[in-house]
Amino acid sequence: MMKVLALLSAALLLLLLPGTLTQTSEPIPIEVVVVVENNKPVTFSTHVAYRGILLGALNTLMTSNANFKFTYSEDKNYGPYLESVNGVAGNHNDHTYWELLVKTADGEIKRPDVGIGCYIPSANEQIILKFTKW
């Protein structure tokens, strides 16, 4: 009897936890926009897993589209750092880097307070990778 009650309690707890059984397996559509200086921005369509990170979406895009490549390094304190996109690399001596911006569904452009390894895109966002000087 105690085992049955314990199992019923565990099942009830799973039903009460948000997203436990309702998690969607549908991919979340996003766009990645690459902006390099005076060149016309290039837009790529891809997707991210439900509650997945941007790094996963960029990897998915790279494996599915030969026109998109990127590299990153792993910083032991701050996580993944975007180094290059489509062969264009940031350079400390030139004071250049890849800035991460996000255009939300309502049109607002924001700078996330996390990088590609922690940012969780929402549906229909535009992820803007902008080659920038500091």
Q: For 64-119, what is each residue's pLDDT tens digit? A: 999 999 999 999 999 999 999 999 999 999 999 999 999 998 999 999 999 999 99
Mean pLDDT of the chain, nearest integer:
88
Q: All domains of the chain, ordered by start, with CATH?
A: 27-133 (2.170.130.30)
Task: Assess whether pLDDT exceeds 80 at residue 7.
Answer: no
Task: Assess whether pLDDT exceeds 90 at residue 16.
Answer: no
Predicted confidence band of residue 25 (pLDDT cuts 50, 70, 90)? confident
pLDDT of residue 15: 55
pLDDT of residue 11: 54
91, two tokens: 């350079």
31, two tokens: 């766009």
For residue 94, what are the CA distances in angstroms to 20, 71, 83, 97, 108?
Answer: 48, 18, 14, 9, 30
Distance from first CA to last CA of the chain, Å, rounded? Answer: 67
Entry pTM: 0.80
